[in-house]
Amino acid sequence: MELKLYDTLTKDKQPFRPLDSNNVRMYVCGPTVYDFAHIGNARPVIVFDVLFRLLRHVYGESHVKYVRNITDVDDKINDRALRDYPGLPLNEAIRKVTEQTEWQFHDDVDALGCLRPTVEPRATEHVAEMRAIIEKLIKNGNAYVEQDHVLFKVASDPNYGKLARRSLDEMLAGARVDVAPYKHDAMDFVLWKPSKPGEPSWPSPGGIKPEGRPGWHIECSAMAWKHLGEQFDIHGGGIDLVFPHHENELAQSCCAFHEARMANVWMHNGFLQVEGEKMSKSLGNFVTIRELLTGWRGRSWPGDALRFAMMQTHYRSPIDWSLVLCDNAFNTLKDFFSVAAATTSENPPASIVEALADDLNTPKVIAELHALRRQVRSTGDEASVALGDALAFLGLDAERFSAWVAKADASVLSGAGKVDDLIAARAAARARKDFKESDRLRDELAARGIVLKDGKDVDGNPVTTWEIAR
């Protein structure tokens, strides 16, 4: 088996050769912690979790280091802190917002079956490394100080633009760069800037007197350097990060360390849209992971079903998220779990590993799962064990799935009151031909997630059974 990965920089699929197979290193840009993560944010988390599991399988669990940062310095965080905790000093309010959001994020991605990365560095704990890189860039002639800002001098880097493969005009438009008085050139981007009064601030690099705060791109260069070194194997994130974020990270790190490459492979997941449209609050189709787990349009799904839904599409293609996608994923997975043996992730079937090794071909993986499901009918136990092994390897957990279903059912039942009593009342209403009341009782149950099925028993007498709507 040969692992092949698509590299955004070279634009082709290549055999993966780690710099050191005893220490395979991957960095993925993580969340900015100011609010619940949306289902689009879940995509890179799931995609790179699948890759992490595959790398651990190929190179050994203790030979893979996965770093996913937490961005805890950002204007959106400051705005949220001011809004939610107007009485608190800003820095304290910011800490509350970031800690709470980080817990929420962990709960959500745990439910999606994602392993915790090896390290989850916080930007605010790596300001010294950011300053060190900035000093190197100034010394190397790649950055300059102007009006208490430090800027990266794009013209000093002949390789700038190679990742995004865009013309200067396209890059200018894409970066939505401001023409600012402290910029020598419109393309130059901020490495360090002054903090506004009351905002978080740190001693500045480059001999700047007032304290300041880092730009966004330098955070990832600093955290990747600290935890993975000057060069590492894989750098990942969503496709929207290619430009300007990754282009800028690449420029900073390569110029600071005099390296030709920052990461050997750049991987980007395609975008997620909801029911054919870009997800946005104004379109009313914005949905968080938490809402999908607990209630979206009157429905909810276990995290394993959401993970499985995400795997239906190849990671580089756009994905269209919908209610039907979630329902189908739920039903298929429920069927798989109903016949799969309870087992562990240690011995995945070769067909599954091979499909993943081909640039994480999860649609092929799913076809293989269906093939195993068909084999359960003919070969029984053997295929049932293989299916169980495959599901466990993919991070799909039968126990967690059933626990979610049991909890959701219990909550429907408690909300519906005594289902049997309501059904008996409806039968009585029907018997006295009070159809208005019997319909009302049926609707009341339906509103609480119970569907009634009217039929006849063996003697031809009417009977009503019920089930929980899915």
Residues at the interface with Zn ion (CB under 5 A) = 29, 220
Residue 4 has which token pair? 């092949």
Rounded distance between C-alpha atoms, residue 286 and residue 378, angstroms? 44
C-alpha dihedral over 402, 407, 409, 414, to 10 degrees? 160
For ligand AMP, give the closer residue by CB, 177 or 279.
279
Pick the piece of the chain touching ligand AMP (CB under 6 A) from 180-188, 259-267, 271-279, 339-347: 271-279
For Zn ion, give the closer residue by CB, 29 or 242.
29
The DSSP annotation for 91-139 comes to HHHHHHHHHHHHHHHHHHHHHTTPPPPSB--BGGG-HHHHHHHHHHHHH
Smallest gap from Cβ 436 to ligand AMP, in A, equals 47
Kindly state the DSSP code that residue 394 receives in the 8-state scheme. T
Q: How are the residues of the chain apportioned to helix, strand and coil, as percentages rounded to the nearest 5?
A: 50, 15, 35
Size of the site for ligand AMP (CB under 6 A): 15
For ligand AMP, give the closer residue by CB, 85 or 271.
271
For ligand AMP, give the closer residue by CB, 43 or 442.
43
Residues 125-154 that bind ligand AMP (CB under 6 A): none
Pick the piece of the chain touching ligand AMP (CB under 6 A) from 237-245, 292-300, 340-348, 386-394: 237-245
Rounded distance between C-alpha atoms, residue 39 and residue 30, angstroms? 14
Angle between helix 127-139 and helix 247-257 axes, rounded to 10 deg: 70
Rounded distance between C-alpha atoms, residue 65 and residue 48, angstroms? 12
For ligand AMP, give the closer residue by CB, 142 or 362.
362
Tell me the CB-side half-sphere exposure of residue 139, using CA atoms within 13 A. 10
Judged by CB under 6 A, does residue 121 bind ligand AMP? no
Residue 199 has which token pair? 């905002």
Judged by CB under 6 A, does residue 322 bind ligand AMP? no
Judged by CB under 6 A, does residue 254 bind ligand AMP? no
Contact 10, 264 (CB under 8 A): no
The entry of Zn ion, ligand AMP, none near residue 450 (CB within 5 to 8 angstroms by kind) is none
For ligand AMP, give the closer residue by CB, 204 or 269.
269
Smallest gap from Cβ 31 to Zn ion, in A, equals 11
Rounded distance between C-alpha atoms, residue 348 and residue 302, angstroms? 23
Rounded distance between C-alpha atoms, residue 54 and residue 367, angstroms? 18
- In sequence order, the 6+-apart residues with CB closer than 8 A to the CB of 311 are 46, 50, 362, 365, 366, 394
Smallest gap from Cβ 250 to Zn ion, in A, equals 11
Pick the piece of the chain touching ligand AMP (CB under 6 A) from 171-179, 265-273, 340-348, 376-384: 265-273
For Zn ion, give the closer residue by CB, 121 or 205.
121
Candidate residues 50, 241, 391, 394; the one interacting with ligand AMP per rule CB under 6 A? 241
The entry of Zn ion, ligand AMP, none near residue 272 (CB within 5 to 8 angstroms by kind) is ligand AMP
Kindly state the DSSP code that residue 175 receives in the 8-state scheme. T
The entry of Zn ion, ligand AMP, none near residue 220 (CB within 5 to 8 angstroms by kind) is Zn ion
Looking at the DSSP bridge assignments, the partners of residue 273 are 320
Residues 13-52 that bind ligand AMP (CB under 6 A): 29, 31-32, 40-41, 43-44
Smallest gap from Cβ 269 to ligand AMP, in A, equals 6
- For residue 63, the surrounding DSSP H or E stretch is none
**One-letter amino acid of 78:** N
- In sequence order, the 6+-apart residues with CB closer than 8 A to the CB of 261 are 231, 254
Judged by CB under 6 A, does residue 110 bind ligand AMP? no
Candidate residues 271, 286, 296, 466; the one interacting with ligand AMP per rule CB under 6 A? 271
For ligand AMP, give the closer residue by CB, 45 or 58.
45
For ligand AMP, give the closer residue by CB, 216 or 404.
216
Q: Is residue 388 classed as helix, strand or coil in its secondary structure?
A: helix
Rounded to an integer, what is the distance from CA 109 to the centroid of its chain? 7
**One-letter amino acid of 293:** L
Looking at the DSSP bridge assignments, the partners of residue 277 are 274
Smallest gap from Cβ 220 to Zn ion, in A, equals 3
Residues 326-355 that bind ligand AMP (CB under 6 A): none
Contact 382, 347 (CB under 8 A): no
Smallest gap from Cβ 77 to ligand AMP, in A, equals 11
Pick the piece of the chain touching ligand AMP (CB under 6 A) from 132-140, 236-244, 341-349, 392-400: 236-244
Pick the piece of the chain touching ligand AMP (CB under 6 A) from 49-57, 182-190, 267-275, 391-399: 267-275
For ligand AMP, give the closer residue by CB, 32 or 345.
32
The DSSP annotation for 187-203 comes to T-EEEEEEPPTTS--B-
Size of the chain, expressed as the number of residues it contains? 470
Pick the piece of the chain touching ligand AMP (CB under 6 A) from 151-159, 238-246, 302-310, 369-377: 238-246
Binding site for ligand AMP (CB under 6 A): 29, 31-32, 40-41, 43-44, 237-238, 240-241, 269, 271-272, 279
